[in-house]
């Protein structure tokens, strides 16, 4: 590892731009703090796109030294330590596999793949190559979410009974939008529902019972989906996601001795409130950092790289696969099938 962690950006869309801004904010010592000891001493050195023109425009926009006109060229760049994969969902598997096969570490935007089978393949490849593989799921790296998990383990709200979480965006989205396209892994579930499902997995673990209902678009993706997860110990999670109406984007976990409320937007909170009978509400505030929301995962990727780890303890491969297993089951129940990245029984 060189003195600076050298990042490559694969794809040039909006999320790639947001990630690059956050990384450059850290690199120059913005609100996230200077680099160095915490693995924040990083720089963006290359960008890759399927179009030379797009790669060059992105490189010029963010003062990135090298622009590659193919994913393969970026993956083969010996001056890149780790690649952030920012393509639409349907291309995550191909892009991440290309980089891992070339020996590059990978931080891949969520969901890691369209299905659990693809995630297992990537994890196996990362293991064979001894390369870091992380899913870019904000929640897994959030100090607030991690503190909530600690409080639950300490019994702060007693025996957990319910978890409610929602994430919905106001429509309508035009037919040309990726959220309407089955070929791009469209629909609410993988784009939005993955957050409430991940929250449930983080706080409650693997469910023992799954029920789901969805309204599908004419193209066959889910416009809105409701999930009911049951746990043998008695807990219930009610989750929803949609692309037809803007929802509160809140989350509440309740137990026998109180409840914890997360404010909007619950997928990247910097505070939460603990409510207990006989006590004043207790507000927990996390240190604020700059950027859009990628700071914590960038920090963790840097720490893992310097430690020589192939997976982060905050986002182990098994946990990512568990969430995708559940999403596979939900898709099978609601009848959403994709023409790519399919597994038996899912489509």
Domain-by-domain residue ranges, the chain? 5-139+294-315, 143-285+321-325
Active site residue 4: no
Q: Whole-angstrom distance between the N-terminal and C-terminal Cα of the chain? A: 41
- CATH number (3.40.190.10, 3.30.230.10, 3.30.360.10, 3.40.190.80) of 143-285+321-325 reads 3.30.360.10
What tens-digit pLDDT sequence spans the chain (347 residues)? 667 999 999 999 999 999 999 999 988 775 444 444 443 689 999 999 999 999 999 999 999 999 999 999 999 999 999 999 999 999 999 999 999 999 999 999 999 999 999 999 999 999 999 999 999 999 999 999 999 999 999 999 999 999 999 999 998 999 999 999 999 999 999 999 999 999 999 999 999 999 999 999 999 999 999 999 999 999 999 999 999 999 999 999 999 999 999 999 899 899 999 999 999 999 999 987 888 999 999 999 999 999 999 999 999 999 999 999 999 999 999 999 998 643 333 33
Q: What is the assigned CATH class of domain 5-139+294-315?
A: alpha beta
Q: Is the peptide bond before 230 cis (omega within 30 degrees of 0)?
A: no
Measured CA to CA, the distance from residue 97 to residue 306 in angstroms comes to: 22
Q: Which candidate in 68, 90, 104, 110 is catalytic?
A: 110
Task: Pick the closest to residue 76 from 102, 107, 44 (CA basis).
Answer: 102
Cross-strand pairs, 254:
162, 259
């Amino acid at each position: 590892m060189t003195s600076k962690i050298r990042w490559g950006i694969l794809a040039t869309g909006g999320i790639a731009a947001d990630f690059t801004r956050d990384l450059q904010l850290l690199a120059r010592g913005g609100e996230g703090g200077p680099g160095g000891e915490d693995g924040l001493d990083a720089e963006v050195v290359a960008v890759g796109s399927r179009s030379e023109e797009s790669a060059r425009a992105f490189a010029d926009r963010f003062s990135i030294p090298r622009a590659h006109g193919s994913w393969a060229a970026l993956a083969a760049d010996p001056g890149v330590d780790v690649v952030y994969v920012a393509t639409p969902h349907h291309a995550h598997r191909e892009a991440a596999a290309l980089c891992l096969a070339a020996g590059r570490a990978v931080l891949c935007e969520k969901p890691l793949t369209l299905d659990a089978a693809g995630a297992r393949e990537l994890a196996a490849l990362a293991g064979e190559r001894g390369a870091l593989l992380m899913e870019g799921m904000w929640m897994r790296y959030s100090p607030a979410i991690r503190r909530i998990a600690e409080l639950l383990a300490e019994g702060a709200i007693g025996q957990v009974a319910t978890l409610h979480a929602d994430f919905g965006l106001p429509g309508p989205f035009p037919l040309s939008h990726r959220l309407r396209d089955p070929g791009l892994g469209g629909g609410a579930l993988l784009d939005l529902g993955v957050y409430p499902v991940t929250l449930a997995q983080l706080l409650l673990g693997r469910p023992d019972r799954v029920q789901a209902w969805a309204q599908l678009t004419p193209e066959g993706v889910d416009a809105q989906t409701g999930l009911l997860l049951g746990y043998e110990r008695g807990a219930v999670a009610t989750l929803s996601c949609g692309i037809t109406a803007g929802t509160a984007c809140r989350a509440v976990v309740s137990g026998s001795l109180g409840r914890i409320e997360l404010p909007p937007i619950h997928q990247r909170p910097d505070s939460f409130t603990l409510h207990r009978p006989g006590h004043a509400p207790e507000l927990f505030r996390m240190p604020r950092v700059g950027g859009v929301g990628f700071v914590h995962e960038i920090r963790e990727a840097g720490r893992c790289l310097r430690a020589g780890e192939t997976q982060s303890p905050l986002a182990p491969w098994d946990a990512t696969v568990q969430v995708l297993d559940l999403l596979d089951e939900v898709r099978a129940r609601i009848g959403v099938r994709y023409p790519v990245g399919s597994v038996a029984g899912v489509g």
